[in-house]
A = this chain, B = another copy of it.
Amino acid sequence: MTESVATRTPLSPTLRSTVTRYRGQRDATDRAALDAILDTATICHLGVLMHGAPAVIPTIYGRGGDTLYLHGSTGSGNLRAAMTGDVSVAVTLVDGIVYARSAMHFSMNYRSAVIHGRPTELTDHAERLHALRVIVEHAAPGAWDTVRPPTRKELAATTVLSLDLTEASVKTRTGDPSDDESDLTSTAWAGTLPLHQTFAPPIPSADLAPGIEIPTHVLSRR
Q: Within 8 Å of chain B (Cβ to Cβ): is A170?
A: no
Q: Is A28 an interface residue (CB 8 A)?
A: no
Quick check: is A215 within 8 A (CB to CB) of the other chain? yes
Contact partner, A8, options B57, B73, B79, B208, Cβ 8 Å:
B73
On whether the beta carbons of A99 and B198 are closer than 8 Å, the reply is no
Is A125 on the interface with B (CB-CB < 8 A)?
A: no
Q: Within 8 Å CB of A186, what residues of B?
A: 147-148, 209
- Say whether A78 faces chain B, with CB atoms less than 8 Å apart: yes
Find chain B residues with CB under 8 A from A213 CB. Answer: 189
> Within the assembled complex, what's the spacing in Å between the Cα atoms of A201 and B187?
20
A135 / chain B contacts, CB cutoff of 8 Å: 11
Q: Which of A99, A187, A206 has the most CB of B within 10 A?
A: A99
Instruction: Please tell me if the beta carbons of B11 and A158 are within 8 angstroms of each other in the complex.
Output: yes
Inter-subunit contact A88/B56 (CB<8 Å): yes
Say whether A72 contacts B14, CB under 8 Å: yes
Of B9, B56, B144, B215, which contacts A154 at CB under 8 A? B9
Q: Does A30 make an interface contact (CB < 8 A)?
A: no
A103 and B132 in contact (CB under 8 A), knowing A148-B183, A158-B9, A189-B215? yes
Q: Which residues of A contact B (CB under 8 A)?
A: 1, 7-9, 11-16, 42-43, 45-50, 52-61, 70-73, 76-79, 85-90, 92, 94, 97, 99-104, 106, 108, 110, 112, 114, 116, 132-133, 135-136, 139-140, 143-144, 146-150, 154, 157-158, 176-177, 179, 183-209, 212-215, 218, 221
For A13, give its contact among B70, B92, B176, B194 (CB under 8 Å).
Answer: B70
Assembly CA distance A198 to B194 (angstroms): 8
Docked pose: A77 CA to B3 CA in angstroms: 14
Are A59 and B13 neighbours in the complex by a CB distance under 8 Å? yes
